[in-house]
A and B are shown apart, each in its own frame.
Chain A
Amino acid sequence: MSREEIFKELDEIFREVFDDESIHVTEETKADDIEDWDSLEHINLIVAIEEHFNMKFNMNEVTTMKNVGEMVDIILERI
């Protein structure tokens, strides 16, 4: 799966989790950019992404990812 394809699928997941059709994520998107993306919703996002790509983040990654770009780096490594 290419980086672009992952971004496309992430868009879908973000839209579902935050119930907002207008969301479009980029390399630089971070929690501050999406209104409902707080630490508690972060869990649901992580769970949804892990399930979708059938992979797991480790504890350190979950707390230190700075933006969606870093998230995609990890996903690419694992699938």
Chain B
Amino acid sequence: MRELEYPFDNSYILKHKKLLKRKLLEENNNYIEKKIALLGGSTTSDVKLILELFLLNYGIKAEFYESEYNKYWEDAMFDNEKLMEFKPDIIYIHTTNKNILEYPLITDKNSDVKAKLEREYERYSTMWNHLFETYNCTIIQNNFDYPTYRLLGNKDATDIRGKVNFLTRLNLKFGEYAEEHQNFFICDLNYISASYGLDAWADEFYYYMYKYALSVSAIPTLAYQIANIIKAILGKNKKALVLDLDNTLWGGVVGDDGVENLVIGPETPESQVYTDFQQYIKLHKDMGILLNVDSKNDEKNALDGLNHPDGILKPNDFIVIKANWEPKSSNLEEISKELNIGIDSFVFVDDNPAEREIIRQNFPNVGIPDLDSPYKYIKLIDHQGYFEGLNLSKEDYNKTEMYKENIERKKSMSSFKNYEDYLISLEMTSTIDEFTSNYMARIAQLTNKSNQFNLTTKRYTQAEIEDVAREQEYITLYGSLKDKFGDNGVVSVIIAHQKGEKLDIDLWIMSCRVLKRDMEYAMMDALQKEAKKRGVKEIYGYYYPTLKNGMVRDFYGLQGFEKIEEDEHRNTVWKFIVTDNYENKNKYIKVEDKNE
């Protein structure tokens, strides 16, 4: 919804929140449902209501628990039946500099200040530890916005008795905790308030009148940032950029002006703008964002432009380059197919409003920043929070290479007469094992990203993944796949739970990158083996249809299950009898079992 996309109009949102909610609920009925507890150190009413809107806009329907005014500490630390019953998936702690109990005094000795810093920090770290133990969920914690006055003026920043200095150091300690805890995320109030403008942010009128720790007008700005963190936790980040070339990555039109006349490089203010923009885009590649080109150009001209000696981005940085005269929407669709990722995962970057409008009409969930002047490109993309960084996994750093290898595989496939020979030529090896700690982030990521090869479309946070990995009655399996072109990393996950001699499969997913490679059979073999070892006699598989997972409708049939139930929504239940004469189905992957 345009009203909720950056740059949005804060006062419009505040004034029309009821209307917006109504419209959002009418538009969509395909939501991820999550429970969010909001523990506040000041009034949270509108924070909740506006957060709800931004989340709905991301396809997340939140049920809220809201603490009483300034009862965050009590709610977190003491027996809390209501919160226990609520079972939060995410706890957001909305505290601000108003909640500091003991600021340093000008008369304090160094040791006093140090002790105050420790006490303040421990009050929070104790609370987080307690919340993790009690609720085992994800925590989002505000760090601190700067104070409204500086007793020492500029020296407040450097004198350890200054409030600015105190809050800066406290924020660093919060940051360290976040580095050490995977399910803990900081909502960077310090940056958000600075970016908004601290004086406007801390309009004390709203504090004295309603005990809001920030100006009511700033609430949408904050709520948007919280929503960005939450959507990222739930695997709804964007994954790829699709970029126009002329007047987007450089100034001028390569086909008309010639490569030598493109505006890029250190010479002029305008050419510096494009250089910096290319640099900004290139930084995304190392973060695992897939770069692609969708440009109306002859391919030769496009490549010549990308080989400009002053350019930062080179053809090699991109996975798919579509430079032709087809409609951009069909190019985008093809890029989506070639990369095998959903079209909603793309951000379309184009200076031409007409092209953007066509994409918006066809694919409303593609990220489409409204570019205007080139010097604003970076800010306009960056403030969208498309790629909110969480726990980057090893796979992310190598992603461009992995996708390129995949395209190589496709090419090599066409040189074989039959598919079996091709599979043999890939020299595949796989590791299949129970969930281990190094892979928790990647496994959680996969459970939230997989839509097509996903039998039940059940989503897990990392905390929940760690939870099932610990439980005795759960069988958890991850599978990674290597071949001669490279390492695909973790590509398949199964979660099943045992009740006596029966085993229910809660989740079976696979990355579509490795479809038709026998990986699904290798997983079945491993599941069967583990089930048998545990004395399971019957395995039950469930298929719940969604708009996206039609490809696995008969998956369990192919694995030798028998369909035993189908309801009016076409949900199906499948049964597999564990026998002694099971024959492994996977023929082409060499599986390294860590337990052997």
Measuring CB to CB, which residues of chain A are less than 8 angstroms from any residue of chain B?
13, 16-19, 39-40, 43-44, 47-48, 51, 59, 62-63
User: Chain B residues with Cβ under 8 A from A51's Cβ?
Assistant: 11
19 contacts between A and B (CB under 8 A): A16-B15, A17-B15, A17-B18, A39-B210, A40-B45, A43-B46, A43-B206, A43-B210, A43-B216, A44-B14, A44-B46, A47-B14, A47-B15, A47-B216, A48-B11, A48-B14, A51-B11, A59-B205, A59-B208
Q: Report the separation of the CA atoms of residues A18 and B17 in the bound assembly, to the nearest whole angstrom.
A: 9
Proximity bits, B13-44, A CB within 8 Å = 1, else 0: 01111110010000000000000000000010
Name which residue of chain A comes closest to B208, CB basis. Answer: A59
Q: Report the separation of the CA atoms of residues A16 and B15 in the bound assembly, to the nearest whole angstrom.
A: 7
Q: Report the separation of the CA atoms of residues A47 and B219 in the bound assembly, to the nearest whole angstrom.
A: 12
Question: B354 contacts the other chain (Cβ, under 8 Å)?
Answer: no
Contact: A44 with B210, CB < 8 Å? Answer: no
Contact: B209 with A59, CB < 8 Å? Answer: yes
Question: B165 contacts the other chain (Cβ, under 8 Å)?
Answer: no
Q: Report the separation of the CA atoms of residues A40 and B49 in the bound assembly, to the nearest whole angstrom.
A: 11
Interface of A is mostly: helix
Contact: A44 with B15, CB < 8 Å? Answer: yes
Question: B345 contacts the other chain (Cβ, under 8 Å)?
Answer: no
Measuring CB to CB, which residues of chain B are less than 8 angstroms from any residue of chain A?
11, 14-19, 22, 43, 45-46, 205-206, 208-210, 212, 216-217
User: Chain A residues with Cβ under 8 A from B16's Cβ?
Assistant: 16, 19
User: Chain B residues with Cβ under 8 A from A39's Cβ?
Assistant: 210
- Ordered nearest first, which 6 A-B pairs have the shortest CB separation? A19-B18, A40-B45, A48-B15, A19-B19, A43-B210, A47-B216
Extra A-B contacts (18), CB below 8 Å, given A40-B43, A43-B216, A59-B205 = A13-B15, A16-B16, A18-B18, A19-B19, A19-B22, A39-B210, A40-B45, A43-B46, A43-B206, A43-B210, A44-B15, A44-B46, A47-B11, A48-B14, A48-B15, A51-B11, A59-B208, A63-B209
**Measured between C-beta atoms, what is the minimum distance from A12 to chain B in Å?**
10
User: Chain B residues with Cβ under 8 A from A62's Cβ?
Assistant: 209
Name which residue of chain B comes closest to A45, CB basis. Answer: B15
User: Chain A residues with Cβ under 8 A from B18's Cβ?
Assistant: 17-19
Task: Count how many pairs of residues, one from A and one from B, have CB atoms less than 8 Å apart in the complex.
Answer: 41
Q: Report the separation of the CA atoms of residues A44 and B217 in the bound assembly, to the nearest whole angstrom.
A: 9
Please indicate which of the listed interface residues A17, A43, A59 has the most CB atoms of chain B within 10 Å of its own CB.
Answer: A43
Q: A16-B16, A19-B19 are in contact. Are A47 and B217 (CB under 8 A)?
A: yes
**Measured between C-beta atoms, what is the minimum distance from A46 to chain B in Å?**
9
Q: Report the separation of the CA atoms of residues A47 and B205 in the bound assembly, to the nearest whole angstrom.
A: 11
Q: Report the separation of the CA atoms of residues A13 and B208 in the bound assembly, to the nearest whole angstrom.
A: 25
Q: Report the separation of the CA atoms of residues A62 and B206 in the bound assembly, to the nearest whole angstrom.
A: 11
**Measured between C-beta atoms, what is the minimum distance from B514 to chain A in Å?**
49
Name which residue of chain A comes closest to B21, CB basis. Answer: A19
User: Chain B residues with Cβ under 8 A from A16's Cβ?
Assistant: 15-16, 19
**Measured between C-beta atoms, what is the minimum distance from A75 to chain B in Å?**
17
User: Chain A residues with Cβ under 8 A from B216's Cβ?
Assistant: 43-44, 47
Q: Report the separation of the CA atoms of residues A43 and B19 in the bound assembly, to the nearest whole angstrom.
A: 17
Name which residue of chain A comes closest to B18, CB basis. Answer: A19
**Measured between C-beta atoms, what is the minimum distance from B38 to chain A in Å?**
14
Q: Report the separation of the CA atoms of residues A19 and B17 in the bound assembly, to the nearest whole angstrom.
A: 8
Q: Report the separation of the CA atoms of residues A44 and B43 in the bound assembly, to the nearest whole angstrom.
A: 14
Please indicate which of the listed interface residues B15, B45, B208, B217 has the most CB atoms of chain A within 10 Å of its own CB.
Answer: B15
Q: Report the separation of the CA atoms of residues A43 and B212 in the bound assembly, to the nearest whole angstrom.
A: 10
Please indicate which of the listed interface residues A13, A16, A18, A59 has the most CB atoms of chain B within 10 Å of its own CB.
Answer: A16
**Measured between C-beta atoms, what is the minimum distance from A63 to chain B in Å?**
8
User: Chain B residues with Cβ under 8 A from A13's Cβ?
Assistant: 15
**Measured between C-beta atoms, what is the minimum distance from B111 to chain A in Å?**
41
Q: Report the separation of the CA atoms of residues A63 and B209 in the bound assembly, to the nearest whole angstrom.
A: 8
> Out of B11, B22, B46, B217, which one reaches A40, CB within 8 Å?
B46
Name which residue of chain B comes closest to A63, CB basis. Answer: B209
Q: Report the separation of the CA atoms of residues A44 and B220 in the bound assembly, to the nearest whole angstrom.
A: 13
**Measured between C-beta atoms, what is the minimum distance from B502 to chain A in Å?**
50
Q: Report the separation of the CA atoms of residues A53 and B14 in the bound assembly, to the nearest whole angstrom.
A: 16
Q: Report the separation of the CA atoms of residues A11 and B46 in the bound assembly, to the nearest whole angstrom.
A: 22
Please indicate which of the listed interface residues B22, B208, B209 has the most CB atoms of chain A within 10 Å of its own CB.
Answer: B209
Q: Report the separation of the CA atoms of residues A17 and B49 in the bound assembly, to the nearest whole angstrom.
A: 13
Name which residue of chain A comes closest to B205, CB basis. Answer: A59
Q: Report the separation of the CA atoms of residues A51 and B217 in the bound assembly, to the nearest whole angstrom.
A: 10
**Measured between C-beta atoms, what is the minimum distance from A65 to chain B in Å?**
13
**Measured between C-beta atoms, what is the minimum distance from B504 to chain A in Å?**
44
User: Chain A residues with Cβ under 8 A from B208's Cβ?
Assistant: 59
User: Chain A residues with Cβ under 8 A from B45's Cβ?
Assistant: 40
Q: Report the separation of the CA atoms of residues A59 and B436 in the bound assembly, to the nearest whole angstrom.
A: 58
Q: Report the separation of the CA atoms of residues A59 and B45 in the bound assembly, to the nearest whole angstrom.
A: 20
**Measured between C-beta atoms, what is the minimum distance from B517 to chain A in Å?**
53
Q: Report the separation of the CA atoms of residues A47 and B45 in the bound assembly, to the nearest whole angstrom.
A: 15
**Measured between C-beta atoms, what is the minimum distance from B21 to chain A in Å?**
8
Q: Report the separation of the CA atoms of residues A28 and B18 in the bound assembly, to the nearest whole angstrom.
A: 25
**Measured between C-beta atoms, what is the minimum distance from B248 to chain A in Å?**
36
User: Chain B residues with Cβ under 8 A from A63's Cβ?
Assistant: 209
User: Chain A residues with Cβ under 8 A from B11's Cβ?
Assistant: 47-48, 51
**Measured between C-beta atoms, what is the minimum distance from A15 to chain B in Å?**
10
User: Chain B residues with Cβ under 8 A from A40's Cβ?
Assistant: 43, 45-46, 210
User: Chain A residues with Cβ under 8 A from B43's Cβ?
Assistant: 40
User: Chain A residues with Cβ under 8 A from B209's Cβ?
Assistant: 43, 59, 62-63
Name which residue of chain B comes closest to A42, CB basis. Answer: B210
**Measured between C-beta atoms, what is the minimum distance from A78 to chain B in Å?**
16
Q: Report the separation of the CA atoms of residues A19 and B206 in the bound assembly, to the nearest whole angstrom.
A: 23
Q: Report the separation of the CA atoms of residues A48 and B11 in the bound assembly, to the nearest whole angstrom.
A: 7
Name which residue of chain B comes closest to A49, CB basis. Answer: B15
Q: Report the separation of the CA atoms of residues A44 and B22 in the bound assembly, to the nearest whole angstrom.
A: 18
**Measured between C-beta atoms, what is the minimum distance from B50 to chain A in Å?**
10
Name which residue of chain B comes closest to A38, CB basis. Answer: B45
Q: Report the separation of the CA atoms of residues A47 and B212 in the bound assembly, to the nearest whole angstrom.
A: 13
**Measured between C-beta atoms, what is the minimum distance from B10 to chain A in Å?**
10
Q: Report the separation of the CA atoms of residues A51 and B215 in the bound assembly, to the nearest whole angstrom.
A: 14
User: Chain A residues with Cβ under 8 A from B210's Cβ?
Assistant: 39-40, 43
Q: Report the separation of the CA atoms of residues A51 and B19 in the bound assembly, to the nearest whole angstrom.
A: 19
